[in-house]
Amino acid sequence: MAPSTGDLQLTSPGAGKDSDELEDVRLLDSYEKHYIEHDETKRIQVRITGMTCAACSNSVETALRSVKGVTEASVALLQNKADVIFNPSLVKDGDIKNAIEDAGFEAEILPESGPADRGGGAAMVVGQFTIGGMTCAACVNSVEGILRRLNGVKRVVVALATSLGEVEYDPNVISKDDIVAAIEDAGFEGSFVQSNGQDQVMLGVGGVYSLGDAQVLEGMLSGTKGVRQFRFDPVLNELDVAYDPEVISSRSLVDGIQLGSNGKFRLHVRNPYARMASKDGSETSNMFRLFISSLVLSVPLFFIGVICPHIPFVYSLLLWRCGPFLMGDWLKWALVSVIQFVIGKRFYIAAGRALRNGSTNMDVLVALGTTASYVYSVCALLYGALTGFWSPTYFETSAMLITFVLLGKYLECLAKGKTSDAIKKLVELTPATALLVVKDKGGRTIEEREIDSLLVQPGDTLKVLPGTKIPADGIVTWGSSYVNESMVTGESTPVSKEVNASVIGGTINMHGALHIQATKVGSDTVLSQIISLVETAQMSKAPIQKFADYVASIFVPTVVILSLLTLLCWYIAGVLGAYPEKWLPENGNHFVFALMFSISVVVIACPCALGLATPTAVMVATGVGANNGVLIKGGDSLERAQKVKYVIFDKTGTLTQGKSTVTAARVFTGMDLGEFLTLVASAEASSEHPLGKAILQYARHFLFFDESSLASGTKNDAAVFKSGWLYDVSEFSALPGRGVVCFIDGKRILVGNRKLLEENGIDISTEVENFVVELEESAKTGILVAYDDVLTGVLGIADPLKREASVVIEGLRKMGVIPVMVTGDNWRTARAVAKEVGIEDVRAEVMPAGKADVVRSFQKDGSIVAMVGDGINDSPALAAADVGMAIGAGTDVAIEAANYVLMRDNLEDVITAIDLSKKTLFRIRLNYVFAMAYNVVAIPVAAGVFFPSLRIQLPPWLAGACMAMSSVSVVCSSLLLRRYTRPKLTTILEILVN
């Protein structure tokens, strides 16, 4: 591999013409309006580090304008950038960079952008960044504050448990490199992971062994049409490419480079989640190495202080005077210096950046406590050499403190890694490769070749062998099999798949071979959306975490003050003779005695556990929920669900199966029943309502005795029903909450409820009314049909209840939750269904917008309201509810509006969601007990409050161990949530009110 001091920047092809940046940065708009570049000039942007005032920017501008060939230069102080236009035949990019550096500042040439890039705006980009070095909630607050102050940044969320930051920013104002630079300037490690941009791809590259190979790769990319921008990192062998998806696809790009290099370069798509997992592993490995190194150096200190005094020969060597000190003192000083300043360097670096940013964290406490012990010991040695009065040293205290803290951080890394297992398992569901079926223009198969599954494109035909995973969402075009979808939906029973059936990427094909046509790939797949939902939930902050953030912000200063008060109180009390001299250590003094208490107070108090209490529990809970088919969209939703007082259910498709069937049809005029059904079916053929489909299915079966139905849900259903037996319809109109109206042969036909007919002046006879009432009282929906302004007939439609509905309703009552049903159906049908499932509070004949009003009416007294629905008409209510729960089989709009997605289409998951929320909040509160108990109990002990009466003293090294174990205890407590099992149907009724 070629040596490198940083990223190798490969310029974009066609710079100055059609090139775009990965994220373009707009600088000096006013300048652009007044200056037009000529063909012989070139424009570049330069990032400048070190400018602090207007004088600095003026100095840089003067330096640039003095360079021969530079025609214009303008410096933006706030953005730390310069815009330079120059003649490339007279001056090079490097000359401009050198001119800025000669002026005393650091310079970096930014990727070039063409004139086309500067004209229009761009949508906000949501990017993910890894942030290394955060140790507690104070670090999180510091990073969030710094990023929020950046110009162009709209929203920032930083998660301590995952070491991730999500930033929403305007790429016209700030680039991802600026954000990474801001993170690093704050003293943390930052790197870009991914963004929601669809026209860029991160590739792993094999076969690049030298700078020459990199230049060959650059040449190939520069000559590839459609490539906008690229950057190659020779250290990680990663290639970041931005491309025009209308000109070239990611697969064509990879194939072109591999074929063009005759196989020398081997490219594969880097999964961003896999890259993050590898970084987590490297952090754990690094922490383990530091701990082992510290332990290896601390063991000799233990032997010198405890074992060697009992071995005369060795002890005599330690007492041998070498210069001003004993050999033992030299050894301890040398060993501890390595531990303190080499292994423990990370604590000083982290403490320095925290103080530089105006915050304090755990690293400040560790650095303060260990430095105090180390400095005192060094001073004691020097004082003894000068005066002959030898005080005891406490080198081992510093070494043991660092060793125990590193042990705690290593255990914490291990435990935190397990909290993100849910994401890792979901990512692993996607197969690494896919079998692409290549066909000719006639549709005949030419070849089958294996490709990276991340390079599958919509429309590709893929072959899925038995026992393998389906690479993408799609439609079966050939074959039949059973597919295990439990890893996505939580439903263990394999699902039969025939031609035209839909399949989900990541699920397992059990038996026969299938050919599927990919319909959704990349971030559009169901699995990717689930991963995104879980990840977003893990990134979010539950409201209860505000308490921890506030405490963390004042915690360290408070502890430092307590430590100083401890030092002063014990020292002054000793000087005044308030305690006997025999309490002092051998050859010790009052200052040393007070200092040990003070150091113990500093190191026992750690805000790390507070910062981990909530996010680790939320991470585990969202992962457990996903494994049980319950997707939680955020920590706030998770917290609110445990306080739910009312659960409002939609009827159709929620409490019922949503598969309506016509059970009765009666004509009240002289019209033939077949003619009547043909009229109604023609009117409903253009409707998307489930009742309309049920009528079509019934009419087809009645007229043709055809067993095929619309249950398959294929695209050709409408065409099947318009095959000649339906009448032509004009002026069709669907009226939400009422029905449909249209014209057939110039005569108006109305199909809907009473309200529709009454609004149009259609009389409803007593005979018809009695028949409709009879239907409604038996939990069926009566559909009235008027043709040519005459009430012609009635259809009775039944929608069976879900088998678990009544048990779930009773279970909610046992939990102290009040169930409510809201439906657009008529009152009699609504009451009949409610009576059957056991719901007392019913709201019927409610329009879609009215459902949201019903939700708000229950919220007036401050009650927490959950809404369970599946249709588009439920989305306003789902959005208005405190906790919206969308049935997974429902519409995309409903799922988008909800806080929870119940993937299994099973009402039992409503109880699972509430129960999981309660268990999680209990665990979070318990975590706070673990986090605070060490401090509340141990700080008085560390300060020596009980020493006068009980002679209890907490040595600093033991205080360090307690501090380390507090974080480990919290994370392990959260991990116990992984043992959660959802309440079983047979035990739901035994749930008691908490």
3-state secondary structure 882-893: CEEEEECCCCHH
- Per the document, the length of the chain is 994
Q: pLDDT band for 714, please (50, 70, 90 cuts).
A: very low
What is the side-by-side order of every strand in the sheet holding 841-843? 630-632, 900-902, 883-887, 864-869, 644-650, 818-822, 841-843
Rounded to the nearest angstrom, the gap between the alpha carbon of residue 673 and the centroid of all alpha carbons in its chain is 57
All CATH 3.40.1110.10 domain ranges of the chain, comma separated, are 661-705+726-798
Query: Which class would CATH give 629-656+802-916?
Result: alpha beta
The share of the chain scoring above pLDDT 70, in percent, equals: 78
pLDDT of the residue at 852: 85
CATH number of 432-525: 2.70.150.10
Of 205-219, 386-400, 670-684, 857-871, minimum mean pLDDT range: 386-400
Q: pLDDT band for 540, please (50, 70, 90 cuts).
A: low
All CATH 2.70.150.10 domain ranges of the chain, comma separated, are 432-525
pLDDT per position as a tens digit, 597-619: 887 787 776 666 676 777 778 88
Neighbouring-strand partners of residue 632: 900
pLDDT of the residue at 39: 47
The letter for the amino acid at 8 is L
- Cα separation, 700 vs 344, whole angstroms: 79
Residue 988 CA: distances (Å) to CA of 118, 834, 839, 981: 61, 20, 17, 12
Assess contact for 265 and 206: CB atoms under 8 A: yes
pLDDT of the residue at 890: 52
Which position has the higher pLDDT, 994 or 758? 758
All CATH 3.30.70.100 domain ranges of the chain, comma separated, are 42-110, 125-273
Within 10 angstroms of residue 950's Cβ, the number of other Cβ atoms is 9
Rounded to the nearest angstrom, the gap between the alpha carbon of residue 282 and the centroid of all alpha carbons in its chain is 21
CB burial of 549-559 (b: ≥16 within 10 Å; e: otherwise) equals bebbbebbeeb
- Cα separation, 157 vs 141, whole angstroms: 10
pLDDT of the residue at 205: 85
Q: pLDDT band for 255, please (50, 70, 90 cuts).
A: confident
The stretch 574-595 carries a mean pLDDT of 81
Active site (annotated) includes residue 650? yes
Residue 422: phi and psi, rounded to 5, are -60, -45
pLDDT of the residue at 889: 56
pLDDT of the residue at 719: 42
**Token representation of residue 130:** 């890894």
Closest among 500, 509, 355, 360 to 431, alpha carbons compared: 509
- Cα separation, 863 vs 192, whole angstroms: 42
Assess contact for 873 and 824: CB atoms under 8 A: yes
- End-to-end CA, the chain: 63
Closest among 973, 960, 976 to 409, alpha carbons compared: 960
Beta strands in 135-284 (DSSP E): 153-159, 164-169, 189-195, 200-206, 227-233, 238-243, 266-269
- Cα separation, 94 vs 101, whole angstroms: 10
Rounded to the nearest angstrom, the gap between the alpha carbon of residue 618 and the centroid of all alpha carbons in its chain is 11
Of 32-36, 72-76, 94-98, 296-300, minimum mean pLDDT range: 32-36
Domain 42-110 grouped into CATH 3.30.70.100: yes
pLDDT of the residue at 646: 94
Catalytic: which of 83, 452, 650, 882? 650
The answer, yes or no, to whether residue 794 has pLDDT greater than 90, is yes
- Classified by CATH at the fold level, domain 661-705+726-798 comes out as Calcium-transporting ATPase, cytoplasmic domain N (3.40.1110)
pLDDT per position as a tens digit, 542-578: 666 666 666 766 777 787 888 889 889 998 988 888 8
- Cα separation, 693 vs 799, whole angstroms: 13
Which position has the higher pLDDT, 320 or 885? 885
Q: pLDDT band for 491, please (50, 70, 90 cuts).
A: low
Query: Which class would CATH give 125-273?
Result: alpha beta
Within 10 angstroms of residue 439's Cβ, the number of other Cβ atoms is 11
**Token representation of residue 153:** 């940044």
The answer, yes or no, to whether residue 718 has pLDDT greater than 50, is no
Rounded to the nearest angstrom, the gap between the alpha carbon of residue 695 and the centroid of all alpha carbons in its chain is 44
pLDDT per position as a tens digit, 16-53: 333 333 333 322 333 333 333 444 677 787 888 766 54
* Angle subtended at Cα 482 by Cα 478 and Cα 483, rounded to the nearest 5 degrees: 100
pLDDT per position as a tens digit, 721-766: 445 688 888 998 888 778 899 999 889 999 998 889 988 989 888 8
788 by Cβ neighbours in 10 Å (0-12 / 13-18 / 19+) ranks as exposed
Assess contact for 789 and 764: CB atoms under 8 A: no
DSSP H helices, 780-839, are 805-814, 827-837
Residue 821 CA: distances (Å) to CA of 228, 851, 891: 55, 10, 20
Mean pLDDT estimate for the chain: 77
pLDDT of the residue at 127: 82
Which position has the higher pLDDT, 905 or 54? 905
